[in-house]
Amino acid sequence: MPLQPQPNLPILTSPILLLGGGGHALVVAEAAALAGATIAGFFDDDAGALLARLGVCTRLGSLADVAGMTGPRILCIGDVGARRRLAARLDLSNAATVIHPRAFVSPSAIVGGGVFIGPGAVIHAKARIGDHAIVNSGAIIEHECVIGSNTHIAPGSVLGGNVSVGPGTLVGLGASVLPGTTIGSGATIGAGAVVVRDVGDNATVKGVPATS
């Protein structure tokens, strides 16, 4: 049985425009539908993108065609670098946040615009999630964490309490970050890594314990 929606979360009342038509867009589209939203269609430079091939929804044009469109929209590309480049040139002011009904978001958490939160994800007390971030399937964001804008917390990752992650960072599949750790902007945390000390801006770390 789905968890009850929390009072601080957005109600999706207008059809959503998906910016991207690949694998991550497929996940976002399904979560949005399960949350009761309607998908207006998607934009992708590839006319044969996955959403079109599967018949999930209609391709409305290339990404450039988003200009001048009205209605809420969400970036549906998983790659952090590509998301950053698109965010710089597309109008994301009317950003939709999509939260899978099987996610848990604390009523004291703050979730920004354009965020995607996947099934089984947990956002605990007083956590803050920046605009256009991804908290993917089964990821755990513990109490008082701060997640920067356009950061991707990959499936199965676990962030202990009071972790801070800067904008544009990737925390890879199944990675763990010890409580109180700070990760800078533009960093990459490898899949399965265990982060036991602070990570600087634009650094790449991997392994157990995680090193550069």
Contacting residues for 164 by C-beta, under 8 A, at least 6 apart = 145, 146, 181, 182, 183
Taking the CB of residue 48, how many other CB atoms lie within 10 A of it?
A: 9
pLDDT digits (tens, 9 = 90+) for 127-149: 999 999 999 999 999 999 999 99
The overall average pLDDT reported for the chain is 93
Second-level CATH architecture of 97-212: 3 Solenoid (2.160)
- Tell me if 16-89 shares its fold with 97-212: no
Per mean pLDDT, which range of 68-72, 80-84, 205-209 is the poorest?
68-72
State yes or no: is 143 an active-site residue: yes
User: Which residues on adjacent β-strands are paired with residue 47?
Assistant: none
% of the chain exceeding 70 in pLDDT: 94
The domain locations on the chain are 16-89, 97-212
Topology at the third CATH level for domain 16-89: Rossmann fold (3.40.50)
Contacting residues for 135 by C-beta, under 8 A, at least 6 apart = 103, 115, 116, 117, 118, 121, 123, 129, 141, 147, 153
The span from the CA of 150 to the CA of 204, in Å, is: 17
Catalytic residue among 24, 124, 143, 152: 143
pLDDT digits (tens, 9 = 90+) for 96-134: 999 999 999 999 999 999 999 999 999 999 999 999 999
pLDDT tier, 183 (very low <50, low <70, confident <90, very high otherwise): very high
The span from the CA of 100 to the CA of 18, in Å, is: 16
